Every structure is written in C-alpha cells, then in structure tokens.
Amino acid sequence: MVFVKYCSSDSWFGDAPASSNTFGFAFRGSRIVSAVIDAMTKYNGLGASGGAERLLFGGCSAGGRGALVNLDAVAAAVPSNVQVQGLLDAAAWVDVQPIIPNMLTLQDMTQDLYGFTSPPIPADCAAQYTGSDAWMCLWPSYRLPFIKTNYFLNAAQFDAFQIMYDTNNLDSTYCCNTAPEQQWVEQFQTDTLSLIQSLPSANPVYSSVCLVHCLSCNADFWLFTVNGVSLAQAMNEWYFGNNAVNVVGQCTGWDCTLQCSGGPWEPTNQPCTTSTNVCANDYYLTPSTVGAASGQQQPGQQQQNNNQQTQAGIAAWNAQNLRNNPNAQSQFAAIAVQQGNAAGSVGATEPALSAQQQQKLSCQSNAAAQLAQAQAQQQAGNANAAQLVQQAQAAQAACGR
C-alpha cells in the first residue's frame, strides 16, 4: 500500500510552476501522481513479476477528485501487465448553486483552479467543453462520463461536504427548515441520483441517504452500512468477486436524514470524514421509533430519541453483529441492492474477520460506547464526567495499538 499525503493544494489536478499567475505557488498535483507511479514501477516492483498484477488507485474527497481526473492517465502509465481500477470516494460533486447568495462557489473555485494550474485534460472531454466551459472537465459530474477505466464510486445523496459548503456551513437552526431550503437540498439529492443513474453499469455505486462524506479512510469503511451492507463488503464483491453491486438508498427527501443516528446535523454539523467522536457517535445507523423517512415526530421528541439512539447504537457495535447488524435494517424500508451479471451474495462472500480483527473492532465498539456515555454525563453536568471522558479517550487510543 502507498499513501500519498495531500500537499499540492490543487486536488491533484495541476502541473504549473510558480509564477505571478499562481500567486507564487507551484501546483504540481498531477505531476506528483505521475512521479509516484514512476517510482513504484522503477523502485518498488510494480509490474516486475511479468504476470497479471492489479493496482487499486483511489482517494477520498479532494483525493477522490484527484483519483477521478488522473485515473485514466495512471492506467496508461503502468506496465501493460498491471490492471488499474479506481476508488472514487466522496468525489461526485454535482453542479448546484449554493443556497446562500453571492458567496464564492465551488464552481468559481474550479474555474479559477483550471485557469492557473494547467491541468492535463483528455482530448474527448476538451472537445466537449470548450472556451469558457473548459473548466467543466475538472468538475466531477461532467468528467465522470469520460472515464474509461473501471471504478467504484461512493456518492452520498446528501454529501456532507458539498451541502455544508453550499449552505455556508450553517447548522440545523438554518438549514433545512423552510420550504425553499428543503426544496434546494432535495434537488441536490435528485441531481446526485440522476448522475448515479447515468453512469455505466460496470462501475458500481455505493450511495447512502445519510449526511456523510468519506467512508474509506477510517473505520466507517467496515462499520457504516446501508441496509446491512458496508462499503467494504460491496467493494469486496466488485474487486475480488468481479460483481458490480450497486447499493443505493431509495428513500427520498430531507426527512430521510432523520433516520440516521443523531439526525442530520446533531450534535454538530461536522462532516463524517474522520473517526472523531462526532462521526463515530453520530452517523452509524441505529434503531428508529418511526417508520422509514416518515418524519412524523416533533423536533424535541426527535432530538431526545436521537440522543438515546446514538448511545444505544454505539453500544450495540461489536464483533458479533458487524456482519449482520439488525440496527442497519431499520434505516429504510426500501433499499435497492442491484447485482450485476455475476451471481452471488455480498454477505456470503465477505472474508471472515481474524481473531485479532474481531478483538480490535470489539475494543473500538466498547470504547466508543464508554465515551458516548461519559460525554452524555458531561453534558448533564456530572462533576466527574471530565475524568471519565479522558479515560474513555485513552481506551479508544489503546484499541489501535
């Protein structure tokens, strides 16, 4: 495994030297990717066996967009005996305008980035988007149809980063309570689903209706589920089973997020991109007391139930139910698990956990439950809660050793 830290500030797009046009900074993301592949080939044995080899090239968020725009170039650069496939995690931006007027949009930034990073653009995309539209070859929803290399896409229907940016990072006191706000965020879901449906069937998609972002860079890869199917399971079926399995939530509307543990924005509106306490406690799916996406509870009642669900849900995570989690079954009544041409079941082909993995995951689950309980006591004003929180955090850290 090779992990390349994000250091180019250009979503791995650019190949431009420092100049007055680039504010004195060099943007060499694309060249860094090329250099890494070259080094793997020359010094680390990529392709050296002479037999069939495979390379999974991917990233999350900005790294996912970088993988998206560089995937075909990487496939062309590796030795001929290496098969390249892509993991595009939280990379599928859709072209919607922010709900906040007169703010700097992600589209504006992408146009600026195109203008001063000199990104390599494939000829077919460049022929489609010319002149003032040339920047669109860097925008995920416009670039995806031009990708020739097989990939797996994780695209949440309520992507936490893009929604939070386009709502100016505001919390639930602002978004999305009014009719126009809900209409905006539901249009975001519609556009994401339209993009997913337009992609070739050979490229599987994993798409939750929770407010999440990256899932591949932490324990969410194994623990977060859509109808009991984790990203790890779906990717295993695709990568090792040659079966393109789509796992796409069918619930529609902003109320769908209320079925996720803690609701859409609680306790804070941070995207679930790392295994922070907020993410670990807030976005795993837990039992709901209402029907799928009904949204019939009053806000105060919903908040109280969500807090209880968070603590109960974390306590339930252990090695025994990781592979068949009943909590996840209550996420939504209607989930489509569409299989490709190959036969087989995702659950049946998931590799068994080793004893060491089971012990580690059980440790993480118990520590998360301990921390959730300590934080709840801290919020309730327990004088000893701070010490309990520290002990729980130490227990979490010890699980990773």
Check if the beta carbon of residue 306 is closer than 8 Å to that of residue 266.
yes
pLDDT the model gives residue 330: 34
pLDDT the model gives residue 316: 35
pLDDT the model gives residue 342: 28
Check if the beta carbon of residue 84 is closer than 8 Å to that of residue 57.
yes
Distance CA 302, CA 304 (A): 5
Distance CA 377, CA 100 (A): 37
Q: Read off the amino acid at residue 329.
A: Q
Half-sphere exposure in the Cβ direction for 383 (13 Å, CA): 0
Extract the runs of DSSP E, i.e. beta strands, from 45-170.
Answer: 53-60, 82-89, 151-154, 158-159
3-state class (DSSP) for residue 366: helix
pLDDT the model gives residue 211: 81
Cα separation values, 117 from 29, 73, 107, 375, 384, Å: 9, 17, 15, 45, 53
Q: What is the pLDDT of residues 125-169, one digit of tens each?
A: 999 999 999 999 999 999 999 999 999 999 999 898 888 888 775
pLDDT the model gives residue 300: 37
Residues 6 or more apart whose Cβ sits within 8 Å of residue 2:
36, 40, 44
pLDDT the model gives residue 127: 96
Q: What is the dihedral of CA 132, 135, 136, 140, to 10 degrees?
A: -170
Residues in the chain: 401
Distance CA 296, CA 298 (A): 7
Element (H, E) at 303: helix 299-316
Q: What residues in the chain have per-residue pLDDT under 70?
A: 169-175, 227, 258-362, 364-366, 368-369, 400-401
Distance CA 265, CA 306 (A): 11
